[in-house]
Amino acid sequence: MSIFIDESGVFGPLETHSPFYIVSLVFHDQSDDIAGNLDKIHDALVARGLDANHPIHTGPLIRREQDYRWMDMPERRAIFRVLVDFVRRCEVTHHSLVFHKREATDTDHLVSLISRAVSAFIRDNLVFFASWDRIVIYYDSGQKELTNVVNSVFNAHLTTVEVRKVIPSDYSLFQAADLCCTLALLRTKIETIGLSASERDFFSTPKDSAERALKKGYFKTMGAKRFGS
Residue-level pLDDT at 128: 94
- Rounded Cα distance between 220 and 229, Å, is 12
**Is 178's pLDDT higher than 80?**
yes
Query: Residue 228 above 90 pLDDT?
Result: no
Strand order in the sheet with 20-28: 92-100, 20-28, 2-8, 135-139, 161-165
How far apart CA 182 and CA 58 sit, in angstroms, is: 7
Domain boundaries, the chain: 2-223
- How large is the average pLDDT for residues 29-51? 92
Class of domain 2-223: alpha beta
Per-residue pLDDT tens for 71-121?
Answer: 999 999 999 999 999 999 999 999 999 999 999 888 999 999 999 999 999
Q: Which residue, 154, 156, 161, is CA-closest to 133? A: 161
Give the model's confidence band at 42: pLDDT under 50 very low, under 70 low, under 90 confident, else very high.
very high
Mean pLDDT for all residues in the chain? 92
Burial call 203-229: b when 16+ CB within 10 Å, e when fewer: bbeeeeebbebbeeebbeebeebeeee
| pLDDT value at residue 142 | 83
**Least confident segment among 7-16, 86-95, 100-109, 192-201:** 7-16
Q: Is the pLDDT of residue 16 over 80?
A: no
Tell me which of 23-27, 59-63, 100-104, 183-187 is least confident.
100-104
